[in-house]
Amino acid sequence: MDQMGEDARRLWDAAQALNRRAAAVSPAAGRLPSLLFFTDPERTPRPWETAARLPPGAAVVFRGFGRDDALDTARRLGEATRARGVRLLIGADADLADRISAAGVHLPARMAGEAASLRRDRPDWIITTAIHEAAAGFPLDSLDALVASPVFASVSASARPAMGLDGLARVLALGVATYALGGIDARTAQALSDSGVCGLAAVGAIRDAFAP
C-alpha cells in the first residue's frame, strides 16, 4: 500500500474508528466501507487517480450525472478500485452498475423509493441513499446505509443548509447505518467521534488528502 500523507492518515483513521464503534452496536455496519469518496464531474475530473490511492476497505461513489463520458469513467474507476480492493458504487444508475459489475448503487433522495425493487433484483448489492432530513417514507428495510448531508457547511454549489449534529442525530434515530457527508475533513471528523455514524463521506477532502 502507498504511504499515506498526514491528512489521508487522519481521515482514514477517523473513518475506521467510527466504523468500529458503529459495528460494536450493529455488526452489519462493520461490513460496510468506512470511507466513501464521492465523485463530482467538476470537482473531481479524474477520479480514478484518487481511487487508485484509496486504502482497501474504502469505496467510491461514482456520480456521472448523465455525462457522455460516464461509461468510460466508470470503467476506469472499476479498474482502479478492483486493483486496490476498494468497492465501487454507481450513483443513480442501476443499469450502469450492472454493466460494469459494480458493488452496488447510491440513490439520491428522490430515488429512494427504488431501493425495494433493487434489493429484490440484486440482493448482493450495497444500496445506499442520500437523506437530508429525518423524514418518513424511506424504504429503510431495503437499504444498507443512509448518507446524511450536509452535516456541516459545505462548499458544494448545491448544498442545503447544514443539519448539524442535532439533525444528524435525528437521522441516526431511524436505526439505519449512516454516513456523514458535507463539510467533512480530518478536523470536523473529530466532532463525530461519539455520533454513531458508520463512516465518513466526502468529495474535496478525500480528493485532496489522497491526491497523487
End-to-end CA distance of the chain: 13
Residues 101 and 198: their CA atoms lie apart, in Å, by 25
Residues 158 and 76: their CA atoms lie apart, in Å, by 26
- Nearest alpha-carbon partner for 44 in 68, 66, 62, 69: 62
pTM of the predicted protein model: 0.96
| pLDDT over 90 at 121, yes or no | yes
**162: DSSP letter:** P
- Nearest alpha-carbon partner for 145 in 188, 191, 181: 181
Residues 125 and 102: their CA atoms lie apart, in Å, by 8
Residues 191 and 193: their CA atoms lie apart, in Å, by 6
> What pLDDT band is residue 136 in, cutting at 50, 70 and 90?
low
- Residues 43-82: pLDDT tens digits? 999 999 999 999 999 999 999 998 999 999 999 999 999 9
> What pLDDT band is residue 165 in, cutting at 50, 70 and 90?
very high
| pLDDT over 60 at 157, yes or no | no
Which amino acid type is present at position 83? Answer: A
- Residues 170-198: pLDDT tens digits? 999 999 999 999 999 999 999 999 999 99
The string of DSSP codes covering 50-99 is HHTTSPBTEEEEE--TT-TTHHHHHHHHHHHHHHHT-EEEEES-HHHHHH
Which amino acid type is present at position 32? Answer: L
| pLDDT over 90 at 88, yes or no | yes
Average model confidence (pLDDT) across the chain:
94
The answer to whether residues 78 and 100 touch, using CB atoms and an 8 Å cutoff, is: yes
E strand residue ranges, the chain: 35-38, 58-62, 87-91, 104-107, 126-131, 145-148, 178-181, 199-202
